[in-house]
Amino acid sequence: MIDIRLIRENPELVRENIRKKFQEEKLPLVDEVLELDKANRAAINEASNLRAQRNALSKEIGKLMGQAKKDPSKLAEAEAVKAQVTAQAERLAALEQQEAALNEKIRDIMLRIPQIIDESVPIGPDDSHNVEVQRFGEAAVPDFPIPYHTEIMESFDGIDLDAARRVSGNGFYYLMGDIARLHEAVLAYARDFMIGKGFTYVIPPFLIHGAVVEGVMSFPEMDAMMYKIEDEDLYLIGTSEHSMIGRYIDQILPESQLPQTLTSYSPCFRKEKGAHGIEERGIYRIHQFEKQEMVVVCRPEESMDWYEKLWRYSVELFRSLDIPVRQLECCSGDLADLKVKSCDIEAWSPRQQKYFEVCSCSNLGDAQARRLRIRVKGEDGKNYLAHTLNNTCVAPPRMLIAFLENNLEADGRVRIPEVLRPYMGGKDALIPKRSN
């Protein structure tokens, strides 16, 4: 959510930003919010004047009532002034109701106007216009066929999708044996990797209030992702970022406590509304998974430096597991409305011979902080809005796909990179229990 003062002072900048995001249908919102804001400020000014008059008239009533003890004619004057105060009180009450209604309408519109994107963001209508920036590691294709990831897992008796469908429906899975252990090993390694970078490990709440949901994401994201608990103001989180940023709602942080650098574990729950496609079979796109996240709350002038650090941590982590990756800069039309700048880290799939998304790194500027009222008290005693960032550390379902494909050998064994062996009981490879 942007500052309404920006719309007042530079509405054309806001309109141009909407055009860059290919959301022309939102252009009328700028004029609409300007009209509402004008009416609201007029109501505020009138109400302020009435309050000042009320104070002056109250003093006059007191004076007249004192004089009426000696001069009864002053009593009539006092009653007339009281009547005037009563009439003004009714008008003031109406103005206060008008202010509340206008503020609600203004906030509703402001929540739909996208954040101002960074000048470096490439312009394009959708993800087909995202721009590859650089690659890390050799994207090799082995001289033997790579089975589909669920087939690799089945060779280790490591997955049961049929039972999951019977119990929970499509989009769920049972992981077992070495595959389940590998899943947890990747999470544990990612946790320790981020702790080694100086981040604080956190396990947050997995359900959050609606006010927090509104604060951390846009309405389209909310509709496509969030599961709501029936008859309660609680939502299952789609990522730990939601409750991690929500932790700071209505807080004023001393500048000396910044940056807050946190790495959080959580299960994640997503409706995946509208998801479709052949590569969404298996465990590529599912309703429940686990994830290790990176979250940073910092001063505005530090946020772009942290953005660079965060996505590079993802590259370093994946390369330590022998997985080639690339950085893909998200174009304007692919950015969610709260994001200032974002990039994806994509892992190489030898089977598909293409890259696929495994991490998403985002700088949200002050958008979440403004919605959630997360402020920083500077050394000069003045408050300002924090900046927030997040990045996927690892999400094992997709990480497992990349890991299994890139570490598979011709005989069906799966290599365990050295950094992961302590989390796998010292094993240097997984041995299949049966051939596909």
- Rounded to whole angstroms, how far apart are CA atoms 189 and 318? 11
Number of domains, the chain: 2
Q: What is the pLDDT along the chain (436 residues), one digit of tens a residue?
A: 899 999 999 999 999 999 999 999 999 999 999 999 999 999 999 888 877 777 666 666 566 565 655 566 666 665 665 677 677 778 888 888 999 999 999 999 999 999 999 999 999 999 999 999 999 999 999 999 999 999 999 999 999 999 999 999 888 999 999 999 999 999 999 999 999 999 999 999 999 999 999 999 887 777 788 999 999 999 999 999 999 999 999 999 999 999 999 999 999 999 876 554 434 567 888 899 999 999 999 999 999 999 999 999 999 999 999 999 999 999 999 999 999 999 999 999 999 999 999 999 999 999 999 999 999 999 999 999 999 999 999 998 899 999 999 999 999 999 999 999 999 999 999 999 876 5
Cα gap 312→46, rounded to integer Å: 54
CATH number at residue 338: 3.30.930.10
Shared domain for 92 and 196, answered yes or no, is: no
If asked whether residues 210 and 271 sit together in one domain, one would say yes
Asked which of 110, 143, 171 is the last residue of a domain, the reply is 110
Which residues are within 8 A (CB) of 111 and not within 5 positions of it... i.e. 6 or more apart?
1, 214, 218, 219, 371
Whether 8 and 66 map to the same domain: the answer is: yes
Q: In sequence order, which residues have a C-beta less than 8 Å from that of residue 256 and are 6 or more positions away?
A: none
Residue that terminates a domain, selected from 76, 110, 144: 110
Would you say residue 118 lies in a domain? no
8 A C-beta contact, residue 201 and residue 194? yes
Indicate whether 83 and 180 sit together in one domain.
no
Beta-bridged to residue 158, according to DSSP, are none
Q: CA geometry: angle at 218 spanning 171 and 250, to 5°?
A: 115
As a whole number of angstroms, the distance between CA 434 and CA 155 comes to 5
Give the max Cα distance, the chain: 111
- Residues 41, 137, single domain; the answer is no
Q: Are residues 323 and 387 in the same domain?
A: yes
User: What's the residue count for the chain?
Assistant: 436
Question: Is residue 209 situated within a structural domain?
Answer: yes
Same domain membership, residue 88 and residue 55: yes
Inside any domain, residue 435: no
8 A C-beta contact, residue 179 and residue 159: yes
Q: Note whether residue 117 is domain-resident.
A: no
> Rounded to 5, what percent of the chain is helix, strand, coil?
50, 20, 30
Sheet holding 383-385, edge to edge: 252-254, 375-377, 383-385
Q: What is the pLDDT of residue 68?
A: 58
3-state secondary structure at position 9: helix
Give the model's pLDDT for residue 279. 46
Q: What is the DSSP letter of 25?
A: G
Residues 99 and 159 in one domain: no
**Which DSSP helix (H) or strand (E) runs through 329?**
strand 325-329
Output the pLDDT for position 282.
78
- Of 52, 78, 110, which residue sits at a domain end? 110
- CATH, residue 97: 1.10.287.40
How far is the C-alpha of 51 from the C-alpha of 396, rounded, in Å?
60
**Residue 210 and residue 103 share a domain:** no
Are residues 161 and 308 both part of a single domain? yes
CA 185 to chain centre: 26
Q: How many CA atoms lie within 13 A of 347 on its CB side?
A: 32
Are 138 and 52 within one domain?
Answer: no
How many whole angstroms separate alpha carbon 271 and alpha carbon 251? Answer: 31
Phi, psi values for residue 363, rounded to 5°: -105, 120
What's the pTM value of the predicted model, to 2 decimals? 0.88
- Cβ neighbours, 10 Å, residue 327: 20
Give Cβ neighbours of residue 88 (< 8 Å, ≥ 6 apart).
50, 53, 54, 57
Instruction: Evaluate whether residue 86 is within a structural domain.
Output: yes
Q: Which residues contact 426 (CB under 8 A, 6 or more apart)?
A: none
Collapsing DSSP to helix, strand or coil, 349 comes out as strand
Q: How far is CA 128 from CA 124, 138, 261, 329, 334, in A?
A: 8, 23, 32, 11, 9
Q: Please, what is the angle between helix 177-196 and helix 303-320, to 10°?
A: 140
In a domain, 402, yes or no: yes
Q: How many CB atoms lie within 10 A of CB 124?
A: 18
- Between CA 347 and CA 135 the distance in angstroms is 10
Domain that holds residue 23: 4-110
The verdict on residue 278 lying in a domain is: yes
- Three-class SS of residue 327? strand
Q: CA-to-CA distance for 405 and 394, rounded, in angstroms?
A: 16
165 within a domain of the structure (yes/no) = yes
Contact, 339 vs 117, CB < 8 A? Answer: yes
In this structure, are 23 and 131 located in the same domain? no
